[in-house]
Amino acid sequence: MQYQRVHHSGGGPDTHTDFHQAAVIDTIGRHLATASFPTTPDGYRRLLEWMRLHGDVLAVGVEGTGAYGSALARFLRANEMTVVDVDRPDRKARRASGKSDPVDAYAAATAVLSGRAHGRPKARDGIVEAIRSLRVVRRSAVKSRTQTINQIRTLIVSAPAEVRERLRGLPTYQLIAQLARSRPGADLADPTCAVRTALRRLARRYQHLTQEIADTDAELGPLVAQAAAGLVDLIGVGTETAAQLLITAGDNPDRLKSEASFAHLCGAAPIAASSGRTNHHRLNRGGDRQANHALHTIALVRMRYDPRTRLYVARRTAEGMSKKDIFRCLKRFIAREVYKHLTSTNIPQLRPSQAA
């Protein structure tokens, strides 16, 4: 097969579970070639060799560097390729140009060489990636535990009176302990026995999930302290919020050019909402919403327990500032403070055997 080789080129894989559709264009945007490669180490090697056959690759735009394209992005960086994180095409452009794997691959390559896409992806090969993996387990356990206690209380509401009255008004920890050690009986055809059996099983599930959360917290604590010891020392910052902010920044926080870029990433950068004689800013609804929630949690804690923050809130309220605007200012300040600790901390890297 003959290849058209140019001096410089750019690549853009459209990532999927089992294969990646790759495209190559030259520096003026001409489409050179497209091909499909499996999502295996050998497939990644063949994809890179194929791209290099068409010229010196300036950069590769990968869509989904945090999901389907994460392994490919790591492979390309390990081979000293410039990898750019590419967002999926907006709906308007997709309606105008159509939707197919080659079209998406060419769109990714074009976004890189045109300069529209320029973000550096997260490294995902250090201690922060280990924290992210453990938090997946913790978050799902917390969500499941909340669903479990809601199911318990719903069953109690509709349970027979003799069951409901014994459990009415009990705090959660007493309710779970009493249900977990109960003896419901063996006649499951009896509705009272069946609901007692269901409540006992849900209570034991709640206890299991609580232990799972505690075990994960015990594992996360030392990792977060190792990754950013100064961060957890800030007022209002706990292990959970610090872990989320570390994950948002990634193992390579140097990819963030300034504290303003970190605030924008967290959805804490103010957005102008002025018109005519009105000069106003509003909260940012974009960015990483989990990071924004972490900043919101820190702000709430400081508003309750930090004397300096309480004085600031009182002064701003006296000046006529709304609660939403006060939160916006506090989140922006906290993002600036957190950024300094993230960038001044040398986040340790795991050994290859640990990161596997």
Task: Determine the straight-line distance between the first and last CA of the chain, rounded to whole angstroms.
Answer: 37
What would the mean pLDDT of 352-356 be, rounded to a whole number? 40
Q: Residue 356 above 70 pLDDT?
A: no
Q: What is the mean pLDDT of the chain?
A: 87
> 37 phi and psi, to 5 degrees?
-135, 145
- What tokens does 217 get? 């917290």
Q: How confident is the model at residue 272 (pLDDT cuts 50, 70, 90)?
A: confident
Q: What is the torsional sign of CA 323, 326, 328, 331?
A: negative
> How much is the pLDDT for 102?
85
Higher pLDDT, 338 or 344: 338
* Global pTM value: 0.80
What would the mean pLDDT of 17-29 be, rounded to a whole number? 89
Closest CA to 153 of 207, 203, 213, 204: 203
Q: Residue 4 above 50 pLDDT?
A: yes
**How long a stretch of residues is the chain?**
356
Q: Residue 221 above 50 pLDDT?
A: yes
Residues 287, 199: Cα–Cα separation, whole Å: 41
Lowest mean pLDDT segment, chosen from 59-63, 83-87, 91-95, 258-262:
91-95
Q: Which of 25-29, 216-220, 272-276 ranks highest by mean pLDDT?
A: 216-220
